[in-house]
Each structure stands twice: as C-alpha cells, then as structure tokens.
Structure 1
C-alpha cells in the first residue's frame, strides 16, 4: 500500500498520492462528493503543530493525524473506499494501518473524531452507516454526538404583507446602518486580518484563530478601533464558522449581522445551502436564518494496545 508519513512542514505524501486520495474520496463520499477533493487538500495543509499521513491504495485512502496539544490522542480524519472495493476488508486494513502509524508516534488512543481546527467532519456522519459499523466492529466506542445545521441561502417569500413577495433573508444593509448609528462598524477583513485573528486568539483559543486566519471569508465588527465580534466561513471547505462576540458587544445584534454577511458570501460563491458546523446554540441559528438541524455525527474512540 503506497503512501507515507508527513511532518509539519514537508508536503508529503507525494502529490500523486493525494490526487489518488481525492479521486477515491469523490467516488466513495456520496454525501460530500462535491467537496471531497477540497477536504483532502485541507487535511494535507494542517496547523504547524500537527503530524499527519495519508495511506493510499488504488481502492481506498485513510488520513490520520496527531497534534502536540494532545500527544496521546490520534485521529482518523478521513476514510474512503471505492464502491467497487467495498465489502472486501480494505476499510479494516486501512484503519489498522492508520492505528499502527499513530501507535508508532506515541498515541495511546485513536478516535474517529474531528481533529480541530483542521478536520473533515466532527465524527462519522450517521448516513455513512457502513463506516459506523466498521468502527464498532473494530472495538471503537461511541462517546459523543455532534450535529450540523443547514442554512438555506436562497431568497424566499415574506411571512407577512405583501404576501408572497420575495425577500432576501440575508440582507444586512438596515442592520449595518443601525449599528453604525451606535458607533459600531461592520467590515470584511482585508489587510487587517491578523488583527482580527489576534482578537479571536485572545478571547477564544488558537484553534479558532487558525480557522479565522485560513477562512475563505472573514467579517468583523469594531467600535473605536476595538474589535468586538467576528464570523468566518470556508476554513473547513464550504462550511460556516466559527463565530464569536465579545461580552462588551452582546445584545447589539452583531452576531446575526456577521452570520448573514458570511452566508451571503457563500451564496455569491455558488452555494445554495451552507453547513453550520459542530453547532452549539441551535436556537440562535434557527431564529437568525431559519437553519435546521440536519447532519448528525457519532464520535468514536478506542484505546490502542
């Protein structure tokens, strides 16, 4: 089985292996085929504190990683087997190979769980039932559940008069003007992105800061030169998040404005829906943009002998 381990800086495995991995992922990941290649590319460009590998055969691929912040835990980030190769034990062989790679680097536990901030999914999407069955047959225990919400990015009819009139649920012009009257400016991050990233790191953590730095789009609010809130999209391909508001700005409605601006960006990029990943506050997203809870993920772990 070709494939090789990679350190934090070297672009290894070879580009040819990653191209095969992307092709396999497109075939196998039927619920994520449109972004499969982007997922492989993102997992192959993780934060500097991470070691990772892609083990590739003609019929399947597994990608695994470890972070220095939790050196005893290894993650199986992506597992895909071509449909014509399924049912022949290749998935089991790939998982065992990933476990050996993790064990050789000091991991005492392996997880089917997202290695934030650079991950494909929070865990195993329950619709990939065969993957969940494989994990359980290998002795992995389910220890947590996570979910995504889906936001419809289209325009829709208004609820009140004039009945049936199309409206843009992502419009923010009026709210931006309201915030400006309160001294709060809403902007898209450009050359000053690092200042926003520093705000994220100070108020939350390095993982969110990495996502803000690597996001396709980043919007923020500030008052008197002080950053108050941020929202990002595209750090994990095609998904929204993370976002956060400092205590000093809560209650102003800044979060909903930044959310809608990001979703409008995603619509402009050609998306008809957006995944809000690894959601905590269901009520906020449901009320702000009518998002619905949809994708469910099971997180698995197993101690390595």
Structure 2
C-alpha cells in the first residue's frame, strides 16, 4: 500500500530548505532552483502569497496581487518524482484552490504573476503537471514562449550603433541605484508599475543589470536582465516618441554581452512578444513553450 499523502500545511518561505525538493522535481530548472525560490520569496509589496507544503515531498505557492483581486496565480508546484501518482499533486492543487478562494479570488491561473514570477505558465515538458491540471478541470487559454540566445556565438557588437546615436545626442549607459527614482517615475508614466519594479530589481539584484538610453536628461528606453533570474533577459521598452532610432538593438546587445561576460552561455528571453526582432537582431530561436491554464474556483 502506498504511503498516505501528508497533510498540506502553510509554511514560511524557506528557499534554502525548499531547494532540494524543487531541484529534484523541476529537472529543466534544477540549476536555478535556489535563485527561483529566492526571487519568489521576495515579491513586491502588496502581494498576498501562501507557501503550502506536504511533508518533504510536495510544495505549492499561490499568490494574488492588487491588479485584479478576482484572479490568483499558482506560481510554483513541485512534487518529488518518487511521490508521484499517489494523490500528492491533487492534494496540493486542492489546497491552493482553497487558499486562493480565501484571498477572495474567483479564478486560479497557472500563469506567471508579473513582475515577480518564475515562468509564464507550465513548460510543456513538465508532462505530469500538464496531466494534473487538465484532470482537475483547468482550461488552457493561452500559449507563451521563451527564446534562447547562444551568447558565445551571437553578434553583440554595439560600437557603430552607439557612435551613430551619440551623433544624435543619445547616450547609452548602465543604470545605477541613483537613477532609480527617475527610472521608476518614467516607467510608471510610459509603461506600468510592473515594469518599474522589474527595472528596480535589475538595477539592485546581484548579477543583474539595466541599460538605458537618454537624451538631454530624459529617459528614452531601457533593457534589463536578471530581474527574476540571472540567465533571463527582459523586460525592454522604448518611449513611443523615441521609436525607430534603433535603441532596442543596442540595449538588448549590451545586456546580453553583460550576461556573457558573467559566464552565462545561453540567455533566455522570457515571455517573448516580437519574435522576428529577436531572431534578426541576435539570432535568437524559439526554445521553451508554456501553456497557460485557468479555472473558476
């Protein structure tokens, strides 16, 4: 007879303590398990989050932010491979749904909860997770993708473009903590508070970075890397009034060059929108595919 499923209980976030389980369970992210957990354990202010654990063999994180109080997100679920097919995943999922309902949510999504997230959705290679959520009645409603860049072979040169931009009064540089007040205000005005938080993390987080373009003291564009994990690039944005200057190309290449110089050999461009741009600019190719699910609770 299989061992009974341990009771699912709420616990305090413990990235180091959770890491062995997540490393075993999430084989395609095992090398970054501790970093993923550390990021998820330090979300932006105002986020409701609950970590639920089933002994040493199961873990789930559910969260909700203020953007849409009716929607909660399942940010992470991990079941030890040796404990699968015993009802562990079902018990964790049921507990997550109950917790989300307790937050006041009416819908639970397997979808990244920006700005602090680990994946856009469920990586399709995690077949047990796909089977779990579909058996539980979740609806697949969207697909997302990452692209990957082979950093040692990519053309990341920017000298000529930076000279061209300089002649037009545009400067390119790496942002510092002193830049954050102006960067946050600009990002919230031009984009949203989500990107403002990710910009802050890319400036402050170890191994991360943010490069900005400016002219006459005004911010024109930015690109960041490492906000959610060191190997990931993004986000990137340009003020609509500064489009068609080629700023994105330069900022992207500068970020990827910094990742390469840090010893990273393959950069993930997360939750990609303009696929042709990244393919053309740095030879990126589609890599990880994610299915996003939702269910009324």
Q: Please report the TM-score for the alignment, with normalisation by the length of structure 1.
A: 0.90
1:89 equivalent in alignment to 2:87: yes
Shift in Å, 1:27:
1.0
Match of 1:110 among 105, 108, 111: 108
RMSD, aligned CA: 1.3
Q: Is the 8 A contact 2:8 2:92 kept in 1?
A: no
Q: How far apart are the structure 1 equivalents of 2:140 and 2:199?
A: 30
Deviation string 1:169-198 (CA, Å, 9 cap, x unpaired) is: 112122212211111000100121331222
Q: How far apart are the structure 2 equivalents of 1:233 and 1:14?
A: 25
Alignment of 1:1-305 (within 5 A): 1=7, 3-4=9-10, 13=12, 15=14, 18-56=15-53, 57-155=55-153, 169-190=155-176, 191-215=178-202, 216-237=208-229, 238-304=231-297
Q: Is the 8 A contact 2:49 2:63 kept in 1?
A: yes
Deviation string 1:263-286 (CA, Å, 9 cap, x unpaired) is: 111112221011111111111101
Shift in Å, 1:125:
0.6
Q: How far apart are the structure 2 equivalents of 1:286 and 1:52?
A: 36
Q: Is the 8 A contact 1:20 1:58 kept in 2?
A: no
Shift in Å, 1:20:
2.9
- In the alignment, structure 1 segments of 5+ residues that lack a partner are 6-12, 157-168
Q: How far apart are the structure 2 equivalents of 1:151 and 1:193?
A: 28
Q: How far apart are the structure 2 equivalents of 1:131 and 1:4?
A: 21
Shift in Å, 1:155:
2.9
Shift in Å, 1:230:
0.3
Q: Is the 8 A contact 1:22 1:36 kept in 2?
A: yes
Deviation string 1:223-269 (CA, Å, 9 cap, x unpaired) is: 11111000011111021111011122211111100000111111122
SS in 2 for 1:32: helix
Is the alpha carbon distance of 1:14 and 1:36 closer, same or farther for their aligned partners in structure 2, counting shifts above 3 Å? closer
Q: Is the 8 A contact 1:109 1:302 kept in 2?
A: yes
Q: Is the 8 A contact 1:194 1:213 kept in 2?
A: no
Deviation string 1:199-241 (CA, Å, 9 cap, x unpaired) is: 1111100111111111121100001111100001111102111
Q: How far apart are the structure 2 equivalents of 1:92 and 1:259?
A: 41
SS in 2 for 1:31: helix
Deviation string 1:14-44 (CA, Å, 9 cap, x unpaired) is: 53xx433222111111111111111111111
Q: Is the 8 A contact 2:114 2:194 kept in 1?
A: yes
Q: Is the 8 A contact 1:196 1:220 kept in 2?
A: no
- In the alignment, structure 2 segments of 5+ residues that lack a partner are 1-6, 203-207
SS in 1 for 2:291: strand
